[in-house]
Amino acid sequence: MQKSPLVLLFLAACATAPTSAPPSELAVCGEDEVFILDLRGEAPRKVWSWRAAERPELPEEFRKKFGSIDECKPVDGGRKILISSSGGAIALVEHASGKVLFYAAVLNAHSAELVPGNRVVAASSYKEGGNRLLLYDLGVSDKPLAFDEFYGAHGAVWDEERQLLWALGGNELRSYRVLQDRLVMTMNRALPNEDGHDLRPVPGTSALLVTTGQHVWLFDRDRLTFRTHPRIGDLPKVKSVDLDLASGALAYVQGEESWWAQRVKFLGLDRKVEFPSARLYKARWVNP
């Protein structure tokens, strides 16, 4: 069978030398902490750390909700970080100061994404009262503008070119138009296998990286088709995956003890990140 241009792109990226150095910083999260590692030098070192318990601007009743952080997504060119916690909240944090700029209570939150109009979408996953996407105005903490029911909601990606929100659930991938006070579904595709975990774009391509309980997939946003990733497609329990296309460096976290891991793994980068006493869940490249 002839391979699509998307798959050929990835095969070439995996087989050829990188065109640039990989990003020097990696955001990692798990339990009650988000931290940024500087990967230069012989051993990674922490250069930034955030804990809700240390943020006086966050209401006290919210601080305990960030005890099981499961997303740490750098946004706005790395100047801000979107944080979500299955303990029941999301927050937008200023990188430079660690200050909380926005927060909201979201049942079993598993990801969030900035969308146009100074708004954010949160993914509320498996829990009674959850299983939905919620739309918020960043100027008004903790008051949703709209929601749409979505079983097992786990990931969200804004697509500037197509002006769509892509969202991952337990059994399907959807796209949405984001209106002023509504989320309007425009497409849905069943996942090749269930238990959707992570959803990330591959910059400069039509590809989305999708992880499920048993595989890592590439979804072509033009053809609306899935293919297994050429290098890590058969890995189970991958909780997060992030690719820097220019260097070919791919960082991923694979569940080792139940849902968590004690290390971040890499393709195309000779680095080792291990925290033997930690429960890591996601790792994201920080934009330069």
Tell me how many domains the chain contains. Answer: 1
H or E stretch including 266? strand 263-267
Position 13 pLDDT exceeds 60: no
- What is the DSSP code string of 82-138? EEEETTTEEEEEETTT--EEEEEE-TTEEEEEEETTTEEEEEE-SSTT-SEEEEEET
Q: What confidence category does residue 1 fall into, taking pLDDT thresholds of 50, 70 and 90?
A: very low
pLDDT digits (tens, 9 = 90+) for 107-132: 999 999 999 999 999 999 998 889 99
Task: Average the pLDDT over each of 15-19, 66-70, 87-91, 263-267 and give the range with the smallest value.
Answer: 15-19
Q: Which two tokens stand for residue 86?
A: 């299955």
Cβ burial of 138 (10 Å; 0-12, 13-18, 19+) is: middle
- The CATH number for 264's domain is 2.130.10.10
- What is the DSSP code string of 18-57? -SSPPPSEEEEEETTEEEEEE--SSS-EEEEEE-GGG-TT
Asked if 211 and 217 count as a contact pair (C-beta separation under 8 A), the reply is yes
CA distance 111 to 19: 31
Q: Which two tokens stand for residue 122?
A: 């949160």
Max mean pLDDT range (11-20, 36-45, 225-234, 239-248): 225-234
- Locate the DSSP E strands across 130-233: 132-137, 144-149, 155-159, 164-168, 172-178, 183-190, 198-201, 207-211, 216-220, 225-228
CA distance 36 to 29: 9
pLDDT digits (tens, 9 = 90+) for 190-238: 999 999 999 999 988 999 999 999 999 999 999 999 999 999 999 999 9
- Mean pLDDT (the chain, rounded): 92
**Is residue 245 helix, strand or coil?**
coil
Domain that holds residue 276: 5-285
